[in-house]
């Protein structure tokens, strides 16, 4: 089977489908103390904190992979209306959630 379609749109061109239900992919990650120290120093002079950018990028990909796994476990062919949500847990952890609607093709 080809990789499952995950889209932020409501409609997938050339496909009709029925809704299965909502699906989620969640991850929570933290940076190590050395990275946190470097980020603190970087905040004094400004600019991008590349370690955190990489962590968030990795977290988003992990969340989408888990979303696909949950959708596949429910028999879905695709996920529509995918969105991200994120938030901090304590001072050193970041949680990322990918969520959307699992659908099964009827055509």
pTM over 0.85, yes/no: no
Residue 100: Cβ within 10 Å count: 23
Domain 5-105's class? alpha beta
What is the pLDDT, as a whole number, of residue 18? 98
Tell me the three state secondary structure of residue 1: coil
Question: 102 is written with which tokens?
Answer: 């699992």
29 band by pLDDT with thresholds 50, 70 and 90: confident
55 band by pLDDT with thresholds 50, 70 and 90: confident
**Which residues, in sequence order, are bridge partners of residue 94?**
29, 88
80 band by pLDDT with thresholds 50, 70 and 90: very high
DSSP state of 90: T
Dihedral, CA atoms, 56, 61, 65, 77, nearest 10 degrees? 130
From CA 63, how far away is CA 68, in angstroms rounded? 9
The H or E element that residue 64 is part of is helix 50-73
């Amino acid at each position: 089977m080809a990789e499952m379609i995950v889209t932020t749109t409501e409609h997938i061109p050339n496909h009709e489908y029925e809704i299965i239900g909502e699906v989620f992919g969640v991850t929570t990650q933290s940076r190590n103390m050395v990275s946190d120290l470097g980020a603190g120093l970087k905040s004094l002079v400004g600019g991008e904190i590349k370690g955190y950018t990489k962590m968030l990028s990795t977290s988003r990909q992990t969340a989408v992979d888990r979303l696909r796994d949950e959708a596949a476990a429910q028999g879905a062919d695709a996920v529509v209306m995918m969105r991200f949500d994120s938030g901090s847990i304590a001072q050193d952890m970041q949680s990322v959630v990918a969520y959307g609607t699992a659908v099964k093709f009827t055509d």
